[in-house]
Amino acid sequence: MSNSRRAKSIRLETKPKPRQRRVPDGVAMESFLIHGPQFSEKWDFKHHVIPPMSSSVTYRLEDTERGGQGFKEYASGDAHRTHPIYIYDRLDEPTRGMLEDELAGVEGGDNCTCFATGMAAISAALGVALRAGDELIAHKTLYGCTYSLITNWYPKLNISNKLIDLRDIAALERAITSKTRAVYFESPVNPTMELIDIEAVAQVVERANAKRKEGEKIYIIVDNTFATPFCQRPLSLGAHIVVHSLTKNIGGFGTDMGGAVIAPHELEGQMLLYRKDFGGALAPKSAWPILVYGLPTLPLRLKRQQESAYAVARFLRGHPRVKRVAYPGLEDFSQFALAKKQMRDLHGEFAPGNMIYFETIEKGADPVNCIKVVDWIAKNGYALTLAVSLGQLRSLIENPGAMTHAALPPEKRLESGIAPNGIRLSIGIEHPDDIIRDLERGLALAE
Ligand SMILES: Cc1ncc(COP(=O)(O)O)c(C=O)c1O
């Protein structure tokens, strides 16, 4: 790719383009997540009450000129979908497009592009931001597959990485070099629940970007899967790009996989080009339940889940077989002040989310008690299910060291704070007493 082409493709606008208005004036976000934009070329509001699920791989074109124009736009990397020309599902299609408009609206971003999974979305965000020879700075603790993507695959493409502790802002300042093109992290971090101060990262990156030419600027990319836009909107705190696994809290019912990238205006064409060429588009049949069931119920589910999570976290904190509990809503959480600053719901209330991490007390180096507790719950628990994934109606329990984060080598897991006796909980919408009873009975076996 020539320099001029590259400069065009990853330039950060100094003057932001006027944002397309998605949320009608005066409408609360909860209502927007149910009704979407008032008018859309993607949906005939006069007839359907529920947005339709489209299922058409290809689209009738009125004439060759219109078909040619659509192809030219998607191939140029400059496409902007204010007036979409539908040609072929992988390029763009209306059910997914409606979901994208709502996700962009709730995250406060210019546009959204949806993918088949969260990993496809993360690959696309990084794929658009980075080129061979670039360097990526990321927090040292990451979801296992993201860690594997960055450490196994990107070095083969000559994209290097520095995995540092992004809670240490001075370390970020030291780590940035002329080759740095992206800073990537989750907050809260999966599974340890550490928080990264998004505003503080943005200040450092802004200072670095002020000295850089267009095309050499650094993107801040935040995986907002744990918090969801209900609990935290990273773009309002200075991040440039947000990624999601829609499979989790946003989908919310555990029936469909999906991923999303919310990006600035100037990257829309690149995101569409990436999806066109690498594939991995979200199927409209999977976009539909996320649009019709997931997003509209997100505030209700999260409110209920975080109330229960607080009750569960308090129970665990007082338990004699529990070594430590990490839940941003606990008053003695090590980053409680930061949690209160950046985890805020759509009305500005404190919103610490539905995820908990805790460690059992062990007599020796082996996680004997941890395995006993989790295995007892797997066989006998009622409200808790041993399963990976998160953000569903059902509460889920898992051991990240052995499961979701097994891709990290053991020494890296320890460095990342993922202890062999660590347990991750995703709190569902059951009555909290039933979740606590399962934990109480399981923990009773610990010695
Ligand atoms: C924080 C986070 N990001 C990304 C992903 C990947 O999402 P998906 O499984 O939809 O590819 C996961 C999956 O667990 C996750 O927990």
Do 285 and 309 belong to one domain?
A: no
Contact 36, 103 (CB under 8 A): no
In a domain, 164, yes or no: yes
Residue indicated by tokens 């979409």: 84
CA of 418 to the centre of ligand 1 (A): 17
CATH number at 344 reads: 3.90.1150.10
Do 263 and 396 belong to one domain?
A: no
In a domain, 68, yes or no: yes
For residue 226, the ligand 1 atom closest to its alpha carbon is: 1
pTM for the whole structure: 0.94
Do 286 and 328 belong to one domain?
A: no
Question: Closest by alpha carbon to 224, among 188, 174, 197?
Answer: 188
What's the rounded Cα separation, in Å, for the pair 381 and 372?
13
CA of 123 to the centre of ligand 1 (A): 12
Contact 400, 418 (CB under 8 A): yes
In a domain, 5, yes or no: no
Binding site membership of 247 for ligand 1 (Cβ less than 6 Å): yes
Confidence check: pLDDT of 436 > 90: yes
Per-residue pLDDT tens over the stretch 57-115: 999 998 898 888 888 888 777 777 767 789 999 999 999 999 999 999 999 999 999 99
In a domain, 137, yes or no: yes
Is residue 21 very low, low, confident or very high in pLDDT (cuts 50, 70, 90)? low
Binding site membership of 423 for ligand 1 (Cβ less than 6 Å): no
Query: Average per-residue pLDDT in the chain?
Result: 92
For residue 220, the cross-strand partners are 183
Do 114 and 217 belong to one domain?
A: yes
Per-residue pLDDT tens over the stretch 193-217: 999 999 999 999 999 999 999 889 9
Q: How many domains does the chain have?
A: 2
CATH number at 31 reads: 3.40.640.10
Q: For every residue of 306-373, which 3-state class applies, written as one string? A: HHHHHHHHHHHHCCCCEEEEECCCCCCCCCHHHHHHHCECCCCCECCCCEEEEEECCCCCCCHHHHHH
Do 59 and 114 belong to one domain?
A: yes
Question: End of a domain among 263, 279, 294?
Answer: 294
- Write the CB contacts of 295 (distance below 8 Å, at least 6 apart in sequence): 33, 99, 102, 103, 106, 250
CA of 390 to the centre of ligand 1 (A): 9
CA terminus-to-terminus distance, the chain? 61
Question: End of a domain among 242, 264, 294?
Answer: 294
Q: Mean pLDDT lowest for which of 27-41, 290-304, 421-435? A: 27-41
What's the rounded Cα separation, in Å, for the pair 108 and 346?
11
In a domain, 2, yes or no: no
CA of 165 to the centre of ligand 1 (A): 20
Contact 439, 315 (CB under 8 A): yes
Binding site membership of 398 for ligand 1 (Cβ less than 6 Å): no
CB-neighbour burial class of residue 341 (10 A; exposed 0-12, middle 13-18, buried 19+): middle
Strands 384-386 and 395-398: parallel
Do 314 and 417 belong to one domain?
A: yes
Confidence check: pLDDT of 9 > 60: no
Do 32 and 77 belong to one domain?
A: yes
Is residue 123 very low, low, confident or very high in pLDDT (cuts 50, 70, 90)? very high
Do 250 and 313 belong to one domain?
A: no
The preferred substitution site among 222, 245, 418 for testing ligand 1, maximizing ligand atoms within 8 Å of CB, is 245
Do 312 and 358 belong to one domain?
A: yes
Is residue 26 very low, low, confident or very high in pLDDT (cuts 50, 70, 90)? very high
Do 305 and 284 belong to one domain?
A: no
CA of 208 to the centre of ligand 1 (A): 30
Binding site membership of 256 for ligand 1 (Cβ less than 6 Å): no
Residues of the domain holding 246 = 15-294
Question: End of a domain among 235, 261, 294?
Answer: 294
Binding site membership of 117 for ligand 1 (Cβ less than 6 Å): yes
